[in-house]
A and B are shown apart, each in its own frame.
Chain A
């Protein structure tokens, strides 16, 4: 008698091809500022959505969630390496920083840039892939922001390589800046770029 899996196939049915494994697992996270009450601290509505480790499961989620540009104002949608929480306090992110692309609301290629960034990460296209933490797309009233989080802000070589590669992968030609999380924490919106690409 054939084993169960084989026995379940109808005559002429082709067995499903094995899924394509990614180098590592990734987690989608979701957060929405405006949905929070004022008593709650920042980050308290941050929640994991799904962890995937195959090409097929990535598309299964991508094809069933709305595009970033359709998210509510105040929403953040993240794709981070599994095991890393998309916040400053995460031990792996703590000494890191982020490269950012900011565009006016509704006039940008944010959806495409988001997809291409996620595909580059999960396909391990960055030379310094160990330095990558994840990417977050943030929708605000007037702007849309994409931020690529990395691990070691002090490693100028790695950050410059990632910044330049990110622009190449997205075919993006405007200037982008890198802000270290510790500078952002201290200076808030006045934080200066540590690096430019």
Chain B
């Protein structure tokens, strides 16, 4: 992959490369812990709690 470098500086990714993943990753990660104290942060808390 052109944009991901594995040189000794580590994994670097440009903004444009990272942005190409935005639309494909719309689901909350399975290990995300939905808690009442962070519910106000979520764009759709009902849906997030419903998956518990």
Q: Which residues does chain A contribute within 8 Å of B9, judged by CB atoms?
A: 124
A65-B11 contact, Cβ under 8 Å, with A20-B21, A55-B21, A59-B21: no
By the criterion CB–CB under 8 Å, are B11 and A124 in contact? Answer: yes
Q: Is residue A119 contacting chain B, with contact meaning CB distance below 8 A?
A: yes
Interface majority SS on A: helix, strand, loop or mixed?
A: mixed
By the criterion CB–CB under 8 Å, are B21 and A120 in contact? Answer: no
> Residue of B at shortest CB range from A45?
B37
By the criterion CB–CB under 8 Å, are A61 and B29 in contact? Answer: yes
Interface size class of B (residues with CB under 8 A): 20 to 34
Q: Is residue A77 contacting chain B, with contact meaning CB distance below 8 A?
A: yes
B-contact 0/1 string along A44-86, CB 8 Å cutoff: 0001011010011111111111100001100001000000000
Q: Is residue B28 contacting chain A, with contact meaning CB distance below 8 A?
A: yes
CA distance A30 to B40 in the complex (A): 10
> Residue of A at shortest CB range from B44?
A64
* Given pairs A55-B13, A55-B25, A59-B25, 16 additional interface contacts (CB within 8 A): A20-B21, A21-B11, A23-B12, A49-B38, A50-B32, A55-B18, A57-B29, A60-B32, A61-B28, A63-B25, A64-B26, A116-B15, A123-B12, A123-B13, A123-B17, A124-B11
Give B contacts to A, CB under 8 Å: 4, 9-15, 17-19, 21-22, 24-29, 32-33, 37-38, 40-44, 48
